[in-house]
């Protein structure tokens, strides 16, 4: 397993992050334990979860919130691996019907961190991430609340997720004006097929010395060999067939090229992300041990310049950074 520092910090994380969104939802607890055991045994030290993972995310539905955190917490309690793990979670999403049970207000932050600490069974969260931006909250209010948690030792670092480039810059600048460390990472939707982040989010992370973590690196399974296994798991959902047909020529070219490389499509998609020096780690969210093993295989795959150029031909990006990509 390879490790990188998370942005400008001294924190070293594995270049593959274990995502736990499926735990408690489509992956049963004992299967989740087996996945975490295997991930830890192979050197993955970076686990990512969120307070809403594990069940329904609408406040009027039966409670399902927090199940993923609870499963991770049970695994930590029985395995004794807490001090070797970089534990990341997220807050923002509605956790109750109360209007203050969501967002980035100081009120909600205080409640959210205590609830996550309790579910995870730990005294600290290593990376506490804003799941989405909430620019209606004053930046001073946001950072005052987070700075207090850092001072109390309840969180160590602060990250963002699903933020635009300007939101990253604005939020980070407000922290620096207070003398705070500020944002150390951004977690964004990014993969071979969806490359909008190359316009502003990746450049913002590079400029501010932030780690970049890519979620949905297989684009919800479309880059995982969907043509060879069209009916497996979530690929059988209504609407996936239409998505496949919309990009079938590219998918056919992509999967054929992966066969030329002698690698699985999933491994190639993850290796492509690892080849970008701005990317700290992609998040793999396995439902099964087989899916975890496929992700781990990507660690042995290095793509040459010719292979990267061919992938750019199949899945072209936006043309570089903004504004050069579209202005001239």
At 279-311, the pLDDT tens digits run: 999 999 999 999 999 999 999 999 999 999 999
Active site residue 46: no
Percent of the chain whose pLDDT exceeds 90: 86
Q: Single out the catalytic residue among 53, 65, 128, 157.
A: 53
Q: What are the angstrom distances between the C-alpha of 154 and each of 30, 54, 147, 267, 268?
A: 28, 23, 10, 36, 38
149-153, 162-166, 243-247, range with the lowest pLDDT: 243-247
CATH superfamily of 3-327: NADP-dependent oxidoreductase domain (3.20.20.100)
pLDDT of residue 101: 86
Cβ–Cβ < 8 Å for 295, 16: yes
What is the helix (H) or strand (E) element at residue 107, kind and residue range? Answer: helix 106-120
Question: pLDDT digit string (tens) for 137-147?
Answer: 999 999 999 99
pLDDT of residue 318: 97
Per-domain boundaries in the chain: 3-327
Degrees (nearest 5) of the Cα angle 213, 215, 220? 160
pLDDT of residue 237: 55
14 CA to centre of own chain: 13
What is the helix (H) or strand (E) element at residue 3, kind and residue range? Answer: strand 3-5
Question: pLDDT digit string (tens) for 196-239?
Answer: 999 999 999 999 999 999 999 999 999 999 998 755 544 445 56
The answer to whether the bond into 7 is cis (omega within 30° of 0) is no
Residue 63 has pLDDT above 80, yes or no: no
Instruction: Tabulate helix, strand, coil % of the chain (nearest 5).
Output: 45, 15, 40
Burial of 318 (0-12, 13-18, 19+ CB in 10 A): middle
> 46 forms bridges with which residues in the sheet?
86
Cβ–Cβ < 8 Å for 175, 157: no
């Amino acid at each position: 397993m390879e490790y990188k520092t998370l942005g400008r910090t001294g924190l070293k994380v594995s270049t593959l992050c274990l995502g736990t969104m499926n735990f408690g939802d489509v992956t049963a607890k004992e299967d989740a334990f087996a996945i975490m055991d295997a991930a830890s045994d192979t050197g993955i030290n970076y686990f990512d979860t969120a307070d809403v993972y594990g069940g329904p995310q609408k406040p009027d539905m039966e409670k399902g919130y927090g199940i993923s955190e609870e499963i991770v917490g049970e695994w930590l309690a029985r395995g004794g691996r807490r001090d070797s793990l970089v534990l990341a979670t997220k807050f923002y999403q509605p956790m109750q019907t109360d209007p203050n049970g969501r967002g980035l207000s100081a009120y909600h932050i205080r409640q959210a961190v205590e609830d996550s600490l309790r579910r995870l069974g730990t005294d600290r969260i290593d990376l506490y991430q804003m799941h989405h931006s909430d620019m209606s909250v004053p930046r001073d209010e946001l950072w005052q609340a987070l700075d207090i948690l850092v001072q109390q030792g309840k969180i160590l670092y602060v990250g963002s997720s699903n933020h635009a480039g300007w939101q990253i810059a604005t939020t980070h600048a407000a922290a620096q004006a207070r003398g705070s460390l500020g944002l150390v990472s951004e977690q964004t939707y990014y993969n071979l097929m969806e490359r909008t982040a190359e316009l502003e989010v990746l450049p913002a992370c590079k400029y501010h010395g932030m780690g970049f973590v890519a979620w949905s690196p297989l684009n919800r399974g479309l880059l995982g060999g969907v043509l060879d296994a069209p009916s497996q798991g979530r690929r059988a959902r209504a609407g996936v067939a239409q998505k496949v047909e919309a990009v079938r020529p590219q998918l056919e070219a992509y999967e054929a090229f992966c066969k030329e490389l002698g690698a699985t499509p999933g491994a190639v998609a993850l290796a492509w992300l690892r080849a970008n020096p701005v990317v700290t780690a992609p998040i793999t969210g396995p439902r099964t041990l087989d899916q975890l093993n496929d992700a781990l295989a990507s660690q042995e795959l290095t793509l040459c310049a010719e292979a990267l150029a061919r992938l750019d031909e199949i899945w072209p990006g936006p043309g570089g950074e903004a504004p050069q990509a579209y202005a001239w």
